A and B are shown apart, each in its own frame.
Chain A
């Protein structure tokens, strides 16, 4: 019977299912990115277990010491353990960066969906806002905003959100403009589904991939921004450990104790590398077949 033959031919296609779960380990950049980030996140989470000094506890009798069995990476100018500050700094910076990418991601994606789907004056208004934000250089605007709002993590979130949402809106809007002309959207409409349902149940899952991939590279920018703000004294406030602050504090002793600035610098580079590899791998894996 023809139906049976079709079923057999179809079953073979079915068995060759190449899902995300079966492909991730064959994507080197994804494995590399996840490994590097995994190590950093693990260290940050297990911070109290893998350090033997508090990140803020000073020991003024043992300042600017080199590596020893007690202080693995030595101490800074206030006698604080560098290894401990590095690990606790990862906690601060990763948490702030993750949250700082979440708000622009959510707001930007929502605006992109709505403006791409409805078009007309909504689209015109959103585009006008995007152009206003894009007209300013990223760092100039962030620093100006933090300067105006005052330093501290809450204001970092606000500043990065105000500046960062535009990229997500542009990406999602472009994807929606293409996707909304596809027949499955017309089919959903012909089923009498509401606009909200079409937007969030049908369009969003089809377009969000690009935004997720971008978020992984955007978080690198955010970490750099947070570190930069910390370096300028506008970021996370002392005594909370933060890599940017560590680099700034170590600067004074660069000629004699270069490792004070270099070690957190390497940590920033490794985190950025891990995230970039992850973004690259995700882009490969999430690309529709």
Chain B
């Protein structure tokens, strides 16, 4: 296998708080190959957005990377200076945000916003950048780009705004696109259009995508591989089809069981009991043990490593067979 485009190894991100430190991301590792799509799944506060922002080097001021490496296209950005990191942003790695209304500059015409990177980063003339912007708008399926280019963000619908944001992200010709819940703020029909658009762009442009979402249906539709995050840790990784058929971590199993309308006959949704742990004082041993249906005495002490549980798969669970056995007993997806 060739060198992956993005390789995150043992990433650890800490927030400085008045009362100490909070480890928002704890030894997270994942890789994304060229042209591949990785899903990053987890509930709110599981560290997926922080991990993504650590990759682009745009953490909030109170947060810092305390351990681990982030390699983008062979460059370790955690060791590189700010200039080097800025040079990678936009032209190698770009980002799409959750809320297109707030992520677009409200007082700048959208055409100018799309033309900005081609002009500033790629050195195009104003006229060429404008042409590039119109091409990008056409590429992301914005009808009548000439007229839309002169619109301000508030004059466009939510779906069009998200398309504009995708066009901006693509304007620096990146190889890696980080999508932070790009469809969460949209209604379902538009959501589907945007997902299809991203998939089409990925095929046409050979982009690698990292897709952060808490929506497993979205992940199933778009990603080849996924990494499940819980309380700042990656608890399970593998190919989407494998993980969905036979989850090896009780948290993944719980997530899949709690999804409604997932082509599966299920009398009742199974919620995961309890609440995610306080990251300022995480539980000893396995972080999921207070909520785990398969918990045993040995889960309570020591750090739990990621276990190799099959080709290209890993799970952070001492008893990963239990979850798998449970999934075999009662499949979480139909026709598995």
Contacts and interface: CB of A to CB of B under 8 A. Distances in A.
Contact of A190 (B94, B105, B141, B193): B94
B102 A191 contact: no
A186 B121 contact: no
Interface residues of A, number: 30
Nearest to B197: A3
A191 B155 contact: no
B105 A202 contact: yes
B233 to A, nearest CB: 25
Given A9-B157, A192-B91, 14 more contacts: A2-B193, A6-B193, A10-B156, A14-B155, A14-B156, A184-B103, A184-B104, A187-B95, A187-B165, A190-B90, A194-B120, A197-B120, A202-B105, A288-B107
Interface in A112-146: 119
Contact of A17 (B56, B155, B168, B190): B155
Contact of B94 (A7, A191, A289): A191
A4 B117 CA distance: 29
B144 to A, nearest CB: 7
A192 B108 contact: no
A186 B58 CA distance: 8
11 contacts: A14-B155, A119-B61, A184-B102, A187-B104, A188-B105, A189-B58, A191-B121, A201-B116, A206-B106, A288-B106, A288-B107
B86 interface: yes
B154 A289 contact: yes
Interface in B125-156: 141, 143-144, 147, 151, 154-156
A287 B126 CA distance: 30
Interface in B162-201: 165, 168-169, 171-172, 189-190, 193
Interface string A174-215: 000000001110111111111001000110011000000000
A192 B103 contact: no
A7 to B, nearest CB: 4
Nearest to A202: B105
Nearest to B60: A181
3 smallest beta-carbon distances between A and B, as pairs: A192-B90, A192-B89, A183-B103
A17 B189 CA distance: 26
A13 interface: yes
B325 interface: no
Contact of B56 (A2, A190, A202): A190
Contacts of A188: 105
A24 B196 CA distance: 43
Contacts of B172: 191-192
A14 B144 CA distance: 12
Interface in B98-117: 99, 102-108, 116-117
Interface string A1-25: 0111011011001100100000000
Contact of A192 (B102, B121, B154): B121
A56 B121 CA distance: 59
Given A3-B143, A6-B159, A183 B97 contact: yes
A50 to B, nearest CB: 41
B226 to A, nearest CB: 23
Nearest to A203: B105
Interface in A85-136: 119
Nearest to A9: B157
B88 interface: yes
B87 interface: yes
Contacts of A10: 156-157, 160
Contacts of A189: 58, 89
A193 B155 contact: no
Interface string B78-94: 00000000111111001
A209 to B, nearest CB: 9
Contacts of A194: 86, 120
A189 B94 CA distance: 10
A197 B86 CA distance: 13
Contacts of B120: 193-194, 197
Contact of A193 (B90, B141, B154, B157): B90
Contacts of A7: 143-144
B88 to A, nearest CB: 7
Contacts of A206: 105-107
Contacts of B143: 3-4, 7
B210 to A, nearest CB: 13
Contact of B160 (A6, A17, A197, A201): A6
